[in-house]
Structure 1
Amino acid sequence: MVKYVPFLKLKQGEIFAVKELRDDIRTQITPFFDFARRENQQDGDFLASLGRDMTSVERNLSDVRELYLDNFDIVDREIGGIDSYQLILAECPLEKTIPVVGIDRSLAHNNAVVTARTDFGLTSDTVALRVLPDDFQDFYAVEDELSELLNNILAYFDRIDLVFDCRVCRELNAVVVGARINEFWERFGEHYPIRKVIVTGSSIPASIAEIVPVNSMSNVVRNELAIHQGVDQSAGFGELFIGDYSVVSPNYSDVDIEPEILLNIMAPKMLYTYEGHHYCIRGGALRTHPREYSQYNDFSEIIVNQPFYRGAAYSFGDQFIADKANGLGARVTPSTVLRPTINAHVTYMWDLP
């Protein structure tokens, strides 16, 4: 079993994907949730969705012991002059949330983490530091910024989970990136207390059209795995974990398009993870394709007939795929397909030797 952290959007489908994991996975896994960006969302809608999402986490993930919570996708947002991250931390499950800071974040964001610890009752003694490829190219180039940030943070937290977030990494040189992570990790560990190191990324771009055309299939190599394989624990600082963005691009966001127009342009897709690849199937526009939403049933039938399909009993998600291949249950939509396919992916990654 690998040490694994799934990076997910804080949305109902993703929350329920975790809820439906096997008990032995759900009670041990530490998911990393990013508050989802929704285009043109008004302040009132943001606050309402925040309340719904946090209620759902409390209700459905009660036996998840720890989770990370970040607002990376809406990092510059303020509501009523208050940083969005402070609002999120004020509503989060304080007994299990690990907050996230970064050298590219605003002072208000990083201060919100301290406020959550001193004023809100946040119990975690661990904070996550999320660094991007531009950040971890050279430790010494960001050493002063790290010192300014972490000397303050570590007055309130004891340990750091260091997150190397490679984002969409399909075209990155895995050997070069892995070497940079090794070097940065070692230098960082000489100065700061590390609990975990998480290396994450995705080979799925925001536009699926870049990797699979309409009405076709593609096997996408998962370069994030190659990057992780190039990282070793020779530095001896903290435990190494692999992360990924499941079957969703890190750069995904809900689009603000009228539903009637969206149906004319949206081509359904389904992804299934196996042996270092994503198996991607994409159909034709939902409104104009003769099979419309039944394309998801067709995709499912194709997947269950692949030699790498793990069988209906393997996970909630695999059972869903088998049911849809047999035409069972309700109609599948672009939003409802994520819950089972993310669940199948996370189960597979957790079980990797």
Structure 2
Amino acid sequence: MLINPGKYVPVLKWKQGEQRAVEVLPHSIKERMSPLLELPPIDWDYENECPKKTIDEHILRIGETLSASWAIEAPLFMDLIYIDPNERLYNSQHPVSYVMQEARNRNINLIPVTSPDRDTAYQNEVRLAHQHDQNGICIRLKEHDFSNLEHNITNLVSNLNVGFSEVDLIIDYEYSDPENQVRTLFFLEGLLSNITLIQHFRSVILIGTSFPPDLSKIGSNSIDTIERSEWLIWKSIIQTNDLYKTIQFGDYVISNPVPFDADPRFINMSANIRYTATDKYIIFKGKSIRKTGASQYFRIAAEVVRHLEYYGASYSNGDNYINEVANQNEGPGNATSWRKAGTNHHLTVVVNELSNLILP
């Protein structure tokens, strides 16, 4: 049975690599997505023990990046979960208010994301944004919200003065080790069965990932795989009950949910290419960039191109980049360019998987 699973909801940390990955997607792919953008936390200056930027500097270009990367009518979700709740711009404006206004100025349709634990000021800005734009609201629930689930949902809907049909509900179980796939599946089925109003929401979205916090368990100069258990779990759930057939799929693309937070002076990152394939991630890993240099990406890219599960240079912008580096016409690239390539490829893969999904 060919099904229509709705739009794909990838969670994107809105940094340069992800922005550029979305920017070069064809409109035919963008139109089948509703990305959830997370404004990243302000980087920390470890030498001077202070933030590297003010909040004004941090979000100054948000409208520009949205316009350059998206530029279609389809809405985006925007979450400022990693911005300190006490932050205000120089003119005392709340960051949520600024971001929503910047999007309006560029005709970008943003749906604000909130959770039961956000402070009063944040919730007020979300309510005002909906009143102004009439785009609805997204409620994102994580593990600490799962107890008293229905109470948390109904309370927040009431406080935001919004109807259930104007709410997109996200169940975000974040990281789940692939070894716990069956346990996670049973847990989520039980959780969903306790949401008695599930059919009344505008949409229900299940988001998770099996991508680990780091690649330290993968050996140098090796090729390894990680099962995409979030994809397999979602496919199992939508077959469980007729009510679940319209639950949309989301993931964290080729990242772990926890923002990277380490002193860059002591980071010893290995060269790696993260490549999404059917039901798994393939990790092509080299050696330390600091010790071995970035030129090893020429060899690693060639390994991707020779791999049986390489999709071909014409599949996506990211695949074309990999091929160009393999042939030493580009590159060797850096962390940003490889995040762009891997993200662009992944987004294309998932949209196409969803469009061609056949279930028994």
TM-score grouping bracket, smaller chain normalisation: 0.7 to 0.9
Structure 2 match to 1:220: 226
Aligned equivalents of 1:206, 1:179: Cα separation in 2: 24
Could you tell me how far 1:304 is from its partner in structure 2? 0.7
Match of 2:44 in 1: 40
CA gap 1:161/1:181 in 2 versus in 1, 3 angstroms:
farther
Counterparts in 2 of 1:111 and 1:171: CA distance versus 1, 3 Å: farther
Q: Percent identity?
A: 24
Deviation at 1:105, TM superposition (A): 2.2
Which one of 124, 128, 153 corresponds to residue 138 of structure 2? 128
User: What's the counterpart of residue 61 of structure 1?
Assistant: 70
Matched length = 340
Question: Aligned equivalents of 1:325 and 1:43: distance in 2?
Answer: 36
Provide the C-alpha distance between the structure 1 equivalents of 2:20 and 2:247, rounded to a whole number of angstroms.
27
Match of 2:155 in 1: 148
How many angstroms does 1:2 deviate by? Answer: 5.2
Which residue does the alignment assign to 2:337? Answer: 336
Whether 1:114 aligns to 2:127 is yes
Contact 2:237 2:244 (8 Å CA) reproduced: no
1:167 corresponds in structure 2 to: 174
Q: How many angstroms does 1:192 deviate by?
A: 7.5
CA separation of 1:310/1:64 partners in 2, compared to 1, >3 Å: closer, same or farther?
Answer: farther
Quote the offset at 1:321 in angstroms.
0.6
Q: Closer, same or farther in 2 for the Cα pair 1:237/1:279, shift >3 Å?
A: closer
> Matches of residues 194-213 of structure 1 in structure 2 within 5 Å?
194-209=201-216, 211-213=217-219
**Paired position in structure 2 for 1:347:** 348
Q: CA RMSD in A?
A: 2.6
Task: For residues 263-306 of structure 1, give each alpha carbon's deviation from its aligned partner in whole angstroms, at most 9, with x where no partner exists.
Answer: xx2212111011111111222221211xx111222111101111
Answer whether contact 2:116 2:152 (CA < 8 A) is retained: yes
1:272 matches 2:275: yes
Residue 50 of structure 1 pairs with residue 51 of structure 2: no
- CA-CA distance at 1:167 after TM superposition: 1.0
* Paired letter, 2:345: A
- Name the CA shift for 1:60/1:153 in 2 (closer, same or farther; >3 Å): same
The Cα offsets for residues 45-67 of structure 1, whole Å up to 9 and x where unpaired, read as: 43223121321112331115110
**Distance of 1:172 and 1:101 partners within structure 2:** 31
Cα distance in 2 for residues equivalent to 1:314 and 1:285: 29
The Cα offsets for residues 175-207 of structure 1, whole Å up to 9 and x where unpaired, read as 343344334434434277312121111112222
Instruction: Indicate the SS of the match to 1:6.
Output: strand
Contact 2:77 2:113 in 1 (8 A): yes
Letter in 1 for 2:351: W
Residue 104 of structure 1, aligned match among 107, 114, 117:
117
C-alpha change, 1:176 and 1:256, in structure 2 (3 Å) is same
1:13 alignment partner in structure 2: 17
Task: Give 1:315 shift.
Answer: 0.7
Aligned to 1:23: 27
Cα distance in 2 for partners of 1:35, 1:279 equals 27
Deviation at 1:226? 2.8
Worse-superposed segment, 86-95 or 294-303: 86-95
Are 1:194 and 1:237, in contact at CA under 8 Å, matched by a contact in 2?
no
Q: Deviations over 1:296-340 (max 9, x none)?
A: 221111011111111001111111111111011243001111111
Report the Cα distance in structure 2 between the residues aligned to 1:28 and 1:103, rounded to whole angstroms.
Answer: 29
C-alpha distance in 2, partners of 1:212/1:76?
Answer: 37
Q: Which runs of 5+ in 1 are unaligned?
A: none
Residue identity opposite 1:301 in structure 2 = A
Distance (Å, rounded) in 1 between the aligned partners of 2:245 and 2:56: 37
